[in-house]
Chain A
Amino acid sequence: MSTDETGQGGTAGTPAGSAGSHSGSGRNLIQLITPEGERISHPEFDPWVKDIGDEQLCSLFEDLTVVRRIDVEATALQRQGELGLWPPLLGQEAAQTGSARALRSDDFVFSSYRENGVAYCRGVGLTDILRVWRGNAASGWDPYTVNMATPQIIIGAQTLHATGYAMGIQNDGADSVAVTYFGDGATSEGDVNEAMVFAASFQVPVVFFCSNNHWAISEPVRLQSHVQLADRAAGFGIPSLRVDGNDVLAVMAATRVALDRARHGGGPTFIEAVTYRMGPHTTADDPTRYRDANELEDWAAKDPIERIKTLLDRKGLFTDQFQQHVRDKADEVARELRAGCIGMPEPEPLDVFKHVYSSPNSWLDRQQDHYARYLASFGDPAEATSQEGAR
């Protein structure tokens, strides 16, 4: 065996590299719609989605389709050089949509960078979703207008913010809930474990929503944990649910159970949504270097959109008219996303100094003044005026 082959084998062929085996043992997934599009009954969870009739199912299908379209369009924009980077959510549409659509507007979301489908459901503007990925701003939206923090890049750090926010909710005597999204890799981070300790000790209204997409860049979930992720919660005294993350209805039901518990003083819940990252970690990643094409095929058969499409078809709801409506909506969203991306105003040079502090800072004011003078030395009148007010 050449050194090359050894290297390849170590990357892709070890037993630890088999991500699929992880979901084969332990407790069963909560599932309400099978991959074949069959609605199966579940006595415990059916009551939580009894209000989801035909109209709501169609609406969820539309959401899933639009979220996928946003993701695909953003990936295309990155490939065309319009975005610096994009973290695709392909395959995770149901986990994001089903949970986000279960929230109340006064619940507060602390997510990672991949929850752009959640952002869409919270009402974040399409252009706002892209600002940070185009590099035009440090973030895209005011968290208080949609009750969702801007994306967190440090893995797992946001789980502590959600827990602290929930401590605040508890102090205020409110019945809203803090919901935090993170991945399977994040469950190894100290912050996530510390967040669960604090959440359990103080019994605060927080939902830990773990999107187990099986891969943390190139590392399979088995490298993070030798038990099912949902089972880790028991060690903290936190009840958990393990749900088919590609089943939008089951995800919604599980999230509603957790939210209801939190609202009524029952404390935190850990949800493991078992899904799959069909694309790369980000547009800078190449998953063919570390994962098996067969695994991708297996998960393609469990696609979150296909199964609800089949269900709607069985119910006679997947009419030409409905399909056209959804297509038009997705096209419109894609057009708006693209136009918003390309038409985004460029930041000004001195924007680099903005918002570091909330009040004047003598060090930074001086640096800004000196840089404004430097820019003005090139004789650009626009820069000369921008130094007004600087000391």
Chain B
Amino acid sequence: MTQMTFARAINSGLRKSLENDPKVVLLGEDIGTLGGVFRVTDGLQKDFGTHRVVDTPLAESAIIGTAVGLAYRGYRPVVEIQFDGFIYPAFDQIVSQVAKMHYRTLGTVKMPITIRVPFGGGIGSPEHHSESPEAYFTHTSGLRVVTVSNPQDAYTVIQQAIRSDDPVLFFEPKRRYHDKGEVDEGLDLSNALPMDTARVLTEGTDVTLVAYGPLVKTARDAATAAADEGISIEVIDLRSLAPVDYATVEASVRKTGRLVITHEAGQSGGVGAEVAASITERCFYHLEAAPVRVTGFDVPYPYSKVEMHHLPGLDRILDGVDRALGRPNSLSGLEG
């Protein structure tokens, strides 16, 4: 076990992948000499060369489009989109090409492309640097969408994503890049939890609280705070957003009878909506209350002095837990 930051853990997972498979190549803006604006690829170009860690011109569609061509040629490209809000110029190549190529070619051409995206807010940046665009991609068939919440998972899941023969959107919670944790770099990937499964982080009996990415830490803190009031929260780190591991969430909700989902992305049409609907379909008669969503608002990502109002924090999550439990809460007295 080694103590390292979230960013370092991804770096280590990338290094491992480059070492293990000569077909792995990294593409992105500023990922070479600079080591990425968050230093996630620090030192990799120096050690693996400019043909395997490629600084590209500033064109996101081309970064993804050339990755498609490299995949055609048998490569396993790992691309970095510098910030969440910069992914949209590449949207067509991701949705119309990366996601559909395997289907289009009747399974003859694989697209083992990993698209790394630093996402989420809380870093005090101007617009386009703090977005949570995951739902655009969870809605796109052909893609797998994952996110991680701790250095160990970051180290493991990035390698699983790269090994996947399907394209993977790998969302990195950028405000957690500097958080430290224990990482077992000797971990045997074949024994690791599969990439498309959720993980129960803390067991509880009263409410199931589903979170992913940057809000997992907030959710755990909320569970700790609730425990002081005698409320037992089961926290689930969703990890995979497409597909969602409903079996794990459903088993938990059958036990607790209550579901709260939280994410930074806006509410309407989000991952929370999908989880709420699917769990309601699957175990309606085990629910004691309507599922509750605690999310960002349906606004453009706000400027930094008000972003704390947009981002679900510990107290807002606990308010949602109170709503699920029928305890006094900010919406008491309101119907629906």
- A interface list, Cβ under 8 A from B: 108, 110, 137-139, 142-144, 149-150, 154, 157, 159-172, 178, 190-191, 194-195, 197-198, 201, 354-359, 361-364
Whether a CB of chain A sits under 8 angstroms from the CB of B92 is yes
B160 to chain A, nearest CB (A): 12
Bound CA–CA A168/B71 (angstroms): 9
- B interface list, Cβ under 8 A from A: 25, 51, 54, 56-57, 59, 61-62, 64-75, 77, 89, 92-93, 96-97, 102-110, 141-142, 144, 164-166, 196, 242-247
Given the complex, which residues of A lie within 8 Å of B93, measured CB to CB? 157, 160, 191
Known contacts A356-B142, A358-B107: A161-B97 contact under CB 8 Å? yes
Q: How many A-B residue pairs have CB under 8 A?
A: 146
Residue A358 contacts which of B74, B165, B244 (CB distance < 8 angstroms)? B165
Closest Cβ neighbor of A358 among chain B residues: B165
Bound CA–CA A304/B163 (angstroms): 49
Q: Is the CB of A163 within 8 A of B65?
A: yes
Closest Cβ neighbor of B106 among chain A residues: A355
27 A–B contacts from the bound complex (CB under 8 Å): A139-B105, A139-B106, A142-B106, A154-B92, A160-B68, A161-B69, A163-B69, A164-B72, A168-B74, A168-B75, A171-B25, A171-B75, A172-B73, A194-B57, A194-B61, A194-B62, A195-B65, A195-B66, A197-B62, A355-B102, A356-B103, A357-B166, A358-B102, A362-B196, A362-B243, A362-B246, A363-B242
Bound CA–CA A110/B66 (angstroms): 12
Q: Is the CB of A168 within 8 A of B69?
A: yes
Given the complex, which residues of A lie within 8 Å of B196, measured CB to CB? 361-362
Q: Is the CB of A354 within 8 A of B107?
A: yes
Q: Is the CB of A160 within 8 A of B107?
A: no
Bound CA–CA A362/B250 (angstroms): 14
Given the complex, which residues of A lie within 8 Å of B141, measured CB to CB? 356, 364
Known contacts A138-B104, A358-B166, A362-B196: A163-B72 contact under CB 8 Å? no
Interface SS of chain B: mixed
Closest Cβ neighbor of A202 among chain B residues: B54
Q: Is the CB of B103 within 8 A of A138?
A: yes
Given the complex, which residues of B lie within 8 Å of A195, measured CB to CB? 62, 65-66
Q: Is the CB of A142 within 8 A of B105?
A: yes
Bound CA–CA A75/B96 (angstroms): 27
Bound CA–CA A386/B243 (angstroms): 23
Given the complex, which residues of B lie within 8 Å of A164, measured CB to CB? 65-73, 77
Q: Which of B67, B103, B141 has the most CB of A within 10 A?
A: B103
Bound CA–CA A358/B71 (angstroms): 14
Given the complex, which residues of A lie within 8 Å of B75, measured CB to CB? 168, 171
